[in-house]
Amino acid sequence: MTSRIRVKGERPYDVVVGAGVLSELPGLLGDDVRTVAVVHPASLPEISRPVCGALESAGYSIVGLPVPDGERAKSVEVAAELWSAFGRYGVTRSDAVVGVGGGATTDLAGFVAATWLRGIKVVQVPTTLLGMVDAAVGGKTGINTPEGKNLVGAFHPPAGVLCDLATLVSVPREDYVAGLAEIIKGGFIADPTILLLIEDDPEGARVPDGRHTRALIERKIQVKADVVGADLRESGMREILNYGHTLAHAIERVENYNMRHGEAVAIGMVYAAELSRLSGHAGMGVVDRTRSILTSVGLPTAYRHEAWPELRDHMRVDKKNRGAKQRFVILDDIGKVTRLEDPAEELLEAAYREIAR
């Protein structure tokens, strides 16, 4: 069974979800495209082969462009190499990019598509849980700088997103579990049914063939589709998707991007829950449920106590900040999101003490 989740807005597109859905790819690209640049991780050429095969069978000219694994791909140097390749292979404004891989790869593919000839078509084919439920959906593209994560980027909605659930079987268990953090985030900010499904079968949530796997994936994609359809450029509502991410991005920077994004987000959500409680917005029940759900699926909930000064420095460079004012996404209750503007340093440090080990 194939599902189609519509992302509305100024440039609407479909997220296609199902097992064995690569035949849908030519339809997402359209008839006007001739050359397709396929961006994929260099260490995993096998994940791009079925995609290239489907494109070649449909008559497209294929250019395979391997990039480094993970966050190492998201640099200006790698982006420049791809731009040079586009020029060498004659990629024109009527051609397209297909990003195949995890969230870092689709972030990069979207960014180079957004910036080549001031924007060409991109279709994302995420092959990890994190990519399917978060990174590949929404049109936010970006690369990292030494100062922080995703500070250089563009809003560039894809022509479509293809989530082939069959690819999840080969995802390493630790990576799959890390992807659950973004699904759980969707439960706390917008769809509490997600939390109920995980609480009903936490062990099943940890595997791609669990009883509720497809429902969890589709519900989280729907959460993101609803938000970005109403606010593509993060001028208001879309900021709620950053719940837990202010600390998470700082942790990733301190770890030199050697920690999985979902693991950092899990810790960041506990911090945001504690900040919600200590600021008088949410009750202890939100904190307890956050810790309980994350722990039940094997995600971390604490970080090194001595890291706070360095983390705090990195948190000051955050996309949600406005001028000198720092903004945090917090909860009034489950499913009820608000913002905390320019909180006192004592409050921020007190919340961190609650998650420090």
Q: Which residues are annotated as a binding site for Zn(2+)?
A: 182, 245, 261
Q: How far is CA 158 from CA 90, 105, 155, 231, in A?
A: 21, 14, 10, 15
DSSP assignment of 136-169 equals: TSSSEEEEEETTEEEEEEEE---SEEEEEGGGGG
Bridge partners, 246 (sequence order): none
Question: Helices 213-230 and 192-200, interaxial angle, to 10°?
Answer: 170
Radius of gyration of the chain (CA): 20
Q: Which of 318, 333, 335 is nearest to 343 (CA)?
A: 318
Q: Rounded CA gap, 52 and 61, in Å? A: 9
Q: Tokens 């293809």: give the residue.
A: 162
Task: Indicate the helix (H) or strand (E) that contains 329.
Answer: strand 327-333
What are the catalytic residues?
Answer: 118, 140, 182, 224, 234, 238, 242, 245, 249, 261
Q: Which residues are annotated as a binding site for NAD(+)?
A: 69-74, 103-107, 127-128, 140, 149
Q: What is the DSSP letter of 135?
A: I
Q: Rounded CA gap, 129 and 265, in Å? A: 14
Q: Which of 228, 185, 159, 179 is nearest to 15 (CA)?
A: 159
